[in-house]
Amino acid sequence: MFRGYWLTAIALGLTLATSAYADPVGYDPARQTNAHKKQAEQKHNSKPAPIVTIQNNVERIARALETSIPKPQTAKEKQDAADDLRAQKDMAKWANWMFWIGLAEVLATGLGIFLIYRTLKATWAAVNVAKDTAQRQLRAYVGITSGGAGIEQGKFKATLTLSNRGQTPAFNVHGAGIARFGAAYDAAWEDEFKSFGISTYLPPSGEIQLVVTEKIDVLNEAAASIDGGGTIFISGRMDYRDAFGVDRWITFRFTVAARDAGGRYRVGDCEDGNDAN
């Protein structure tokens, strides 16, 4: 509809422009002569006629107007546009689904990593338990298994048997001890421990003798008066290294009771002072 109006206006303009250059009706020799002169001048002049320029401009305007006027969509174009819109909606929907699927995969991966971590942690704990169990079953166990005491050459002498009851050797076995008389054990005596003078290797089921000697006057004549009361305490500490490279230690404390029928003092365990790692 608009195109028809524009073409009518263009045609009217073209008519007016043409009429402006047309000769009037009727014959006039003078005008005819002037017309011939004008034609001669136009032939001599190389510039295009104004009517041609106006016509070209009108055609360009018509083409521009024709291009700017939207064309009605065909059924196929409408279907293609609907298909494109549907495809874009489907892509948006699937993009939303892909986001949630990706998030679920990330959470599942995180859960898997956490479960792997827990499994590795439990496995490592089981390995450590197995290692500790093996060490407890196979390590060296050094301790005092027996002892006796008596008076020899005016001195009190206690002999203790140190043995390894474990399955593997004990290395660098050494220690110190002391014997003292008193109504109760005094922790200050530990500062006076005397070395046993040994540093030895002790195989499984192996034994060594520890000897503690003290002068009678140091024991306040305990050996002579023990039957009348008081207690002789024998205490000490032993250090060693087991086959697994772990440094071990034991502390021991014994009491000396009245003499037996053979004249030897009986060595008994003390409630306190016996410990080990």
Could you give the maximum distance between any two Cα atoms of the chain, in Å?
185
**φ, ψ for residue 136, nearest 5 deg:** -65, -35
Answer whether residue 131 is part of any domain.
yes
Are residue 116 and residue 241 in the same domain, yes or no?
no
Do 146 and 261 belong to one domain?
A: yes
Pick the last residue of a domain from 138, 161, 189.
Answer: 138
Pair (115, 189) in one structural domain: no
**Does residue 208 sit within a domain?**
yes
Residue 51 lies in a domain: yes
∠ at Cα 250 (246, 252), nearest 5°?
175
- CATH number at 228 reads 2.60.40.10
Tell whether 272 and 257 lie within a shared domain: yes
76 part of a folded domain: no
In angstroms, rounded to a whole number, what is the distance separating the alpha carbons of residues 214 and 78?
A: 119
The token pair at 57 is 């401009």
Q: What is the pLDDT of residue 30?
A: 53
Q: Which of 119, 138, 157 is the last residue of a domain?
A: 138
pLDDT value, residue 155: 80
- Do 118 and 148 belong to one domain? no
Cut 0.85: pTM above it = no
**Which among 237, 259, 258, 257 has a CA at the least distance from the CA of 248?**
237
Domain count, the chain: 3
The verdict on residue 92 lying in a domain is no
Measure CA 77 to chain center: 58
* Whether 130 and 173 share a structural domain: no
What does the alpha-carbon distance between residue 201 and residue 162 come to, in Å, rounded to a whole number? 12
- Same domain, yes or no, for 133 and 165? no
10-residue stretch averages of pLDDT, the chain, 277 residues long: 51 52 49 54 53 71 67 73 78 81 89 92 90 89 86 81 93 90 79 86 92 69 52 89 93 79 72 86
Q: Is residue 85 part of a domain?
A: no
Backbone angles phi, psi at 206, to 5 degrees: -80, 160
Statement to judge: residues 261 and 202 lie in one domain:
yes
pLDDT for the residue numbered 153: 78
Mark whether 210 and 131 lie in a shared domain: no
Instruction: Name the domain boundary from 116, 138, 160.
Output: 138
115 plus 239 within the same structural domain: no
**Distance, CA of 157 to CA of 183 (rounded, Å):** 20
Instruction: Give the pLDDT confidence score for residue 174 in this predicted structure.
Output: 92
Q: Note whether 63 and 157 are same-domain residues.
A: no
Q: Is residue 12 a part of any domain in this protein?
A: yes
Same domain, 132 and 156: no
In one letter, which amino acid is 23?
A: D
pLDDT for residue 191: 87
pLDDT in tens, 79-115: 777 777 788 877 877 887 888 888 888 999 999 999 9
pLDDT digits (tens, 9 = 90+) for 127-140: 988 888 888 899 99
Look at the block and give the residue holding tokens 């898997």: 112
DSSP H helices, the chain, are 2-20, 29-44, 50-68, 75-138, 222-225
Residue 23 falls inside a structural domain: no
Q: Which domain holds residue 215?
A: 142-276
Q: What residues form DSSP beta bridges with 209?
A: 161
